[in-house]
Structure 1
Amino acid sequence: MITPLKHRDHPPASKQRLRFWLRVLKLQRHIEAVLREKLRAEFGTTLPRFDVMAALHHHERGLRMSALSSFLKVSNGNVTGIVDRLVLDGCVMRVPVKSDRRAMVVRLTKKGRDDFSHMAGVHEGWVNELLAELSPDEADAMMAGMDRLNQSMGEQHE
Protein backbone atom coordinates (compact mmCIF):
# COMPACT_ATOMS: atom_id res chain seq x y z
CA MET A 1 0.00 0.00 0.00
CA ILE A 2 1.25 3.47 -0.85
CA THR A 3 1.36 5.80 2.13
CA PRO A 4 -0.06 9.28 1.44
CA LEU A 5 2.39 12.12 1.89
CA LYS A 6 1.55 14.79 4.43
CA HIS A 7 0.98 18.12 2.70
CA ARG A 8 4.07 19.71 4.25
CA ASP A 9 6.22 16.74 3.20
CA HIS A 10 5.43 16.95 -0.53
CA PRO A 11 8.69 17.28 -2.37
CA PRO A 12 8.64 19.32 -5.58
CA ALA A 13 8.79 16.09 -7.63
CA SER A 14 5.46 14.90 -6.22
CA LYS A 15 3.75 18.17 -7.20
CA GLN A 16 5.23 17.91 -10.67
CA ARG A 17 4.04 14.31 -11.02
CA LEU A 18 0.56 15.32 -9.84
CA ARG A 19 0.45 18.12 -12.44
CA PHE A 20 1.63 15.63 -15.07
CA TRP A 21 -1.16 13.20 -14.11
CA LEU A 22 -3.81 15.93 -14.30
CA ARG A 23 -2.57 17.00 -17.74
CA VAL A 24 -2.63 13.40 -18.97
CA LEU A 25 -6.24 13.09 -17.77
CA LYS A 26 -7.26 16.40 -19.35
CA LEU A 27 -5.67 15.48 -22.68
CA GLN A 28 -7.18 11.98 -22.64
CA ARG A 29 -10.65 13.38 -21.92
CA HIS A 30 -10.32 15.96 -24.69
CA ILE A 31 -9.13 13.45 -27.30
CA GLU A 32 -11.80 10.95 -26.28
CA ALA A 33 -14.56 13.60 -26.49
CA VAL A 34 -13.45 14.62 -29.99
CA LEU A 35 -13.28 11.00 -31.16
CA ARG A 36 -16.69 10.20 -29.64
CA GLU A 37 -18.27 13.10 -31.49
CA LYS A 38 -16.54 12.28 -34.78
CA LEU A 39 -17.54 8.60 -34.58
CA ARG A 40 -21.14 9.61 -33.89
CA ALA A 41 -21.26 12.24 -36.64
CA GLU A 42 -19.39 10.30 -39.33
CA PHE A 43 -20.49 6.72 -38.66
CA GLY A 44 -23.46 6.91 -36.28
CA THR A 45 -21.56 4.76 -33.80
CA THR A 46 -20.11 5.00 -30.31
CA LEU A 47 -16.60 4.74 -28.94
CA PRO A 48 -17.44 1.63 -26.87
CA ARG A 49 -18.82 -0.07 -30.00
CA PHE A 50 -15.66 0.92 -31.92
CA ASP A 51 -13.54 -0.48 -29.07
CA VAL A 52 -15.40 -3.82 -29.13
CA MET A 53 -14.94 -4.07 -32.89
CA ALA A 54 -11.24 -3.17 -32.52
CA ALA A 55 -10.73 -5.90 -29.93
CA LEU A 56 -12.44 -8.47 -32.16
CA HIS A 57 -10.45 -7.27 -35.17
CA HIS A 58 -7.28 -7.80 -33.12
CA HIS A 59 -8.45 -11.32 -32.15
CA GLU A 60 -9.52 -12.68 -35.54
CA ARG A 61 -10.53 -16.09 -34.17
CA GLY A 62 -12.87 -14.36 -31.74
CA LEU A 63 -13.10 -14.10 -27.99
CA ARG A 64 -15.35 -15.47 -25.30
CA MET A 65 -17.43 -12.72 -23.74
CA SER A 66 -15.46 -12.86 -20.48
CA ALA A 67 -12.16 -12.55 -22.37
CA LEU A 68 -13.54 -9.64 -24.39
CA SER A 69 -14.61 -7.89 -21.17
CA SER A 70 -11.20 -8.50 -19.62
CA PHE A 71 -9.40 -7.26 -22.72
CA LEU A 72 -11.46 -4.05 -22.69
CA LYS A 73 -11.31 -3.76 -18.88
CA VAL A 74 -15.09 -3.39 -18.57
CA SER A 75 -17.86 -5.51 -17.06
CA ASN A 76 -19.53 -8.38 -18.91
CA GLY A 77 -22.80 -6.46 -18.73
CA ASN A 78 -21.35 -3.50 -20.61
CA VAL A 79 -20.08 -5.72 -23.41
CA THR A 80 -23.22 -7.86 -23.72
CA GLY A 81 -25.45 -4.99 -24.84
CA ILE A 82 -22.91 -3.76 -27.37
CA VAL A 83 -22.37 -7.26 -28.78
CA ASP A 84 -26.15 -7.82 -28.98
CA ARG A 85 -26.53 -4.68 -31.12
CA LEU A 86 -23.52 -5.61 -33.28
CA VAL A 87 -25.08 -9.05 -33.89
CA LEU A 88 -28.39 -7.41 -34.92
CA ASP A 89 -26.46 -5.15 -37.31
CA GLY A 90 -24.70 -8.14 -38.88
CA CYS A 91 -21.23 -7.04 -37.73
CA VAL A 92 -20.61 -9.77 -35.14
CA MET A 93 -21.58 -13.43 -34.90
CA ARG A 94 -21.74 -15.77 -31.93
CA VAL A 95 -20.09 -19.14 -32.50
CA PRO A 96 -20.53 -22.08 -30.09
CA VAL A 97 -17.36 -23.47 -28.49
CA LYS A 98 -17.14 -27.17 -29.39
CA SER A 99 -15.44 -28.14 -26.13
CA ASP A 100 -17.99 -26.27 -23.96
CA ARG A 101 -21.62 -26.28 -25.12
CA ARG A 102 -22.48 -23.41 -22.78
CA ALA A 103 -19.77 -21.07 -24.09
CA MET A 104 -19.85 -18.80 -27.11
CA VAL A 105 -17.10 -17.00 -28.96
CA VAL A 106 -17.90 -13.70 -30.63
CA ARG A 107 -16.12 -12.64 -33.78
CA LEU A 108 -16.49 -10.09 -36.54
CA THR A 109 -18.40 -11.05 -39.67
CA LYS A 110 -17.14 -9.99 -43.09
CA LYS A 111 -19.40 -6.95 -42.85
CA GLY A 112 -17.98 -6.19 -39.40
CA ARG A 113 -14.39 -6.53 -40.64
CA ASP A 114 -15.11 -4.30 -43.64
CA ASP A 115 -16.95 -1.68 -41.55
CA PHE A 116 -14.24 -1.67 -38.90
CA SER A 117 -11.39 -1.45 -41.43
CA HIS A 118 -12.99 1.65 -42.95
CA MET A 119 -13.67 3.25 -39.56
CA ALA A 120 -10.18 2.41 -38.28
CA GLY A 121 -8.53 4.15 -41.23
CA VAL A 122 -10.61 7.29 -40.70
CA HIS A 123 -10.03 7.09 -36.93
CA GLU A 124 -6.26 6.92 -37.48
CA GLY A 125 -6.49 10.09 -39.57
CA TRP A 126 -8.39 11.88 -36.80
CA VAL A 127 -5.82 10.87 -34.19
CA ASN A 128 -3.03 11.96 -36.50
CA GLU A 129 -4.68 15.39 -36.89
CA LEU A 130 -5.24 15.74 -33.15
CA LEU A 131 -1.61 14.90 -32.34
CA ALA A 132 -0.02 16.67 -35.34
CA GLU A 133 1.96 19.04 -33.09
CA LEU A 134 3.83 16.06 -31.66
CA SER A 135 6.89 14.97 -33.66
CA PRO A 136 7.55 11.25 -34.15
CA ASP A 137 10.60 11.54 -31.85
CA GLU A 138 8.49 13.23 -29.15
CA ALA A 139 5.84 10.53 -29.50
CA ASP A 140 8.51 7.82 -29.17
CA ALA A 141 9.96 9.48 -26.05
CA MET A 142 6.52 9.80 -24.42
CA MET A 143 5.65 6.20 -25.25
CA ALA A 144 8.95 5.03 -23.75
CA GLY A 145 8.16 6.91 -20.53
CA MET A 146 4.64 5.50 -20.42
CA ASP A 147 5.94 1.99 -21.06
CA ARG A 148 8.38 2.42 -18.16
CA LEU A 149 5.54 3.55 -15.89
CA ASN A 150 3.28 0.69 -17.00
CA GLN A 151 6.05 -1.80 -16.34
CA SER A 152 6.82 -0.43 -12.88
CA MET A 153 3.13 -0.29 -11.92
CA GLY A 154 2.57 -3.81 -13.20
CA GLU A 155 5.39 -5.05 -11.04
CA GLN A 156 4.00 -3.21 -8.00
CA HIS A 157 0.39 -4.36 -8.42
CA GLU A 158 0.67 -7.94 -9.67
Structure 2
Amino acid sequence: MSERITAPDFAGEDFDPLSGGRDMDEADLSALSPPREKRDVIDLGGPSSAGKLLSESEMSEVTGRIVDALKTVYDPEIPVDIYELGLIYQVDFEPPTDETGGEVKILMTLTAPGCPVAGEMPGWVETAVKRVDGVDRVDVDMTFDPPWSPERMSDEAKLELGWM
Protein backbone atom coordinates (compact mmCIF):
# COMPACT_ATOMS: atom_id res chain seq x y z
CA MET A 1 0.00 0.00 0.00
CA SER A 2 1.35 3.43 -0.81
CA GLU A 3 0.38 7.06 -0.90
CA ARG A 4 -0.34 8.64 -4.25
CA ILE A 5 1.20 11.92 -5.32
CA THR A 6 -0.17 13.72 -8.27
CA ALA A 7 0.96 15.39 -11.46
CA PRO A 8 -0.42 18.28 -13.43
CA ASP A 9 -4.15 18.39 -14.02
CA PHE A 10 -4.59 21.77 -15.52
CA ALA A 11 -8.34 21.58 -15.89
CA GLY A 12 -9.15 20.40 -12.36
CA GLU A 13 -9.08 21.34 -8.73
CA ASP A 14 -6.08 22.63 -6.79
CA PHE A 15 -4.42 20.16 -4.44
CA ASP A 16 -0.90 19.21 -3.48
CA PRO A 17 0.86 16.15 -4.91
CA LEU A 18 2.18 15.14 -1.52
CA SER A 19 -1.17 15.38 0.25
CA GLY A 20 -3.15 12.80 -1.67
CA GLY A 21 -5.84 15.46 -2.05
CA ARG A 22 -6.14 16.57 1.59
CA ASP A 23 -6.14 20.25 2.54
CA MET A 24 -2.66 21.74 2.85
CA ASP A 25 -1.23 23.86 5.63
CA GLU A 26 1.65 26.34 5.24
CA ALA A 27 4.31 23.73 6.17
CA ASP A 28 2.95 21.38 3.50
CA LEU A 29 2.95 24.11 0.89
CA SER A 30 6.55 25.07 1.64
CA ALA A 31 7.64 21.54 0.70
CA LEU A 32 6.42 22.05 -2.87
CA SER A 33 8.27 23.74 -5.67
CA PRO A 34 5.86 25.37 -6.65
CA PRO A 35 2.38 24.30 -5.48
CA ARG A 36 0.17 23.62 -8.53
CA GLU A 37 -2.90 21.83 -9.73
CA LYS A 38 -2.13 18.14 -10.01
CA ARG A 39 -3.32 14.78 -11.35
CA ASP A 40 -2.48 11.32 -10.01
CA VAL A 41 1.14 10.74 -10.84
CA ILE A 42 3.59 9.96 -8.07
CA ASP A 43 3.00 7.05 -5.74
CA LEU A 44 5.15 7.09 -2.63
CA GLY A 45 5.83 4.04 -0.56
CA GLY A 46 3.51 4.96 2.29
CA PRO A 47 3.47 4.34 6.03
CA SER A 48 2.81 0.65 5.47
CA SER A 49 6.20 0.24 3.76
CA ALA A 50 8.02 -2.01 6.20
CA GLY A 51 11.60 -1.07 6.94
CA LYS A 52 11.54 2.25 5.11
CA LEU A 53 14.58 4.38 5.84
CA LEU A 54 13.20 7.82 4.97
CA SER A 55 11.16 10.09 7.23
CA GLU A 56 8.08 11.83 5.87
CA SER A 57 10.02 15.06 5.32
CA GLU A 58 12.80 13.15 3.55
CA MET A 59 10.17 11.49 1.35
CA SER A 60 8.86 14.95 0.45
CA GLU A 61 12.37 16.12 -0.38
CA VAL A 62 13.10 13.11 -2.60
CA THR A 63 9.74 13.49 -4.32
CA GLY A 64 10.47 17.15 -5.04
CA ARG A 65 13.87 16.22 -6.44
CA ILE A 66 12.28 13.56 -8.68
CA VAL A 67 9.90 16.17 -10.12
CA ASP A 68 12.81 18.62 -10.49
CA ALA A 69 14.78 15.93 -12.34
CA LEU A 70 11.85 15.31 -14.69
CA LYS A 71 11.77 19.04 -15.41
CA THR A 72 15.34 18.86 -16.77
CA VAL A 73 14.24 16.67 -19.69
CA TYR A 74 12.96 18.45 -22.80
CA ASP A 75 11.42 17.34 -26.05
CA PRO A 76 14.04 18.71 -28.48
CA GLU A 77 11.32 20.09 -30.76
CA ILE A 78 9.39 21.91 -28.00
CA PRO A 79 10.94 24.46 -25.60
CA VAL A 80 9.04 23.09 -22.57
CA ASP A 81 10.07 20.31 -20.17
CA ILE A 82 8.28 16.97 -20.30
CA TYR A 83 6.68 17.42 -16.87
CA GLU A 84 5.02 20.73 -17.78
CA LEU A 85 4.05 19.29 -21.18
CA GLY A 86 2.09 16.60 -19.33
CA LEU A 87 4.06 13.69 -20.76
CA ILE A 88 4.50 12.09 -17.32
CA TYR A 89 1.43 10.02 -16.46
CA GLN A 90 2.59 8.30 -13.28
CA VAL A 91 5.61 7.98 -11.03
CA ASP A 92 5.77 5.29 -8.34
CA PHE A 93 8.47 5.73 -5.71
CA GLU A 94 9.36 2.96 -3.30
CA PRO A 95 11.73 4.35 -0.68
CA PRO A 96 14.90 2.52 0.26
CA THR A 97 14.58 -0.19 2.89
CA ASP A 98 17.08 -2.31 4.76
CA GLU A 99 17.06 -4.70 1.78
CA THR A 100 16.70 -2.43 -1.28
CA GLY A 101 17.56 1.02 -2.54
CA GLY A 102 14.94 3.54 -3.65
CA GLU A 103 13.07 2.50 -6.79
CA VAL A 104 11.16 4.73 -9.21
CA LYS A 105 8.78 3.48 -11.91
CA ILE A 106 7.65 6.05 -14.46
CA LEU A 107 4.80 5.78 -16.94
CA MET A 108 5.04 8.39 -19.66
CA THR A 109 3.92 9.18 -23.17
CA LEU A 110 5.09 11.28 -26.09
CA THR A 111 3.31 14.04 -27.99
CA ALA A 112 2.88 11.61 -30.91
CA PRO A 113 3.57 7.88 -31.42
CA GLY A 114 5.96 8.70 -34.29
CA CYS A 115 8.03 11.12 -32.22
CA PRO A 116 11.63 11.05 -33.51
CA VAL A 117 13.06 10.71 -29.98
CA ALA A 118 10.76 7.84 -28.94
CA GLY A 119 13.70 5.47 -28.58
CA GLU A 120 15.89 7.95 -26.70
CA MET A 121 13.62 9.90 -24.36
CA PRO A 122 12.99 7.06 -21.86
CA GLY A 123 16.76 6.81 -21.40
CA TRP A 124 17.02 10.56 -20.85
CA VAL A 125 14.29 10.32 -18.19
CA GLU A 126 15.99 7.36 -16.52
CA THR A 127 19.37 9.13 -16.46
CA ALA A 128 17.88 12.33 -15.01
CA VAL A 129 15.92 10.59 -12.24
CA LYS A 130 18.77 8.19 -11.37
CA ARG A 131 20.85 11.23 -10.36
CA VAL A 132 18.46 11.93 -7.46
CA ASP A 133 19.90 11.02 -4.06
CA GLY A 134 17.83 8.19 -2.59
CA VAL A 135 17.02 6.68 -6.01
CA ASP A 136 18.98 3.58 -7.03
CA ARG A 137 16.76 2.11 -9.73
CA VAL A 138 14.54 3.70 -12.40
CA ASP A 139 12.21 1.92 -14.83
CA VAL A 140 10.53 3.96 -17.57
CA ASP A 141 7.56 2.57 -19.51
CA MET A 142 5.88 4.21 -22.50
CA THR A 143 2.15 4.28 -23.19
CA PHE A 144 -0.10 5.97 -25.70
CA ASP A 145 -3.27 5.22 -23.77
CA PRO A 146 -4.62 7.72 -23.17
CA PRO A 147 -3.03 9.65 -26.00
CA TRP A 148 -1.35 12.93 -25.11
CA SER A 149 -3.28 16.11 -25.88
CA PRO A 150 -2.52 19.81 -25.33
CA GLU A 151 -5.02 19.86 -22.44
CA ARG A 152 -2.40 17.99 -20.39
CA MET A 153 -0.02 20.97 -20.54
CA SER A 154 0.39 23.31 -17.59
CA ASP A 155 -0.52 26.97 -17.91
CA GLU A 156 3.22 27.65 -17.71
CA ALA A 157 3.80 25.46 -20.78
CA LYS A 158 0.92 27.05 -22.67
CA LEU A 159 2.32 30.52 -21.91
CA GLU A 160 5.79 29.48 -23.04
CA LEU A 161 4.35 28.23 -26.32
CA GLY A 162 2.18 31.33 -26.79
CA TRP A 163 -1.08 29.39 -26.41
CA MET A 164 -2.47 31.70 -23.70
TM-score (norm 2): 0.30
- Larger RCO, structure (CA 8 Å, separation 6 or more): 2
* Larger fraction in strand: 2
* Larger fraction in helix: 1
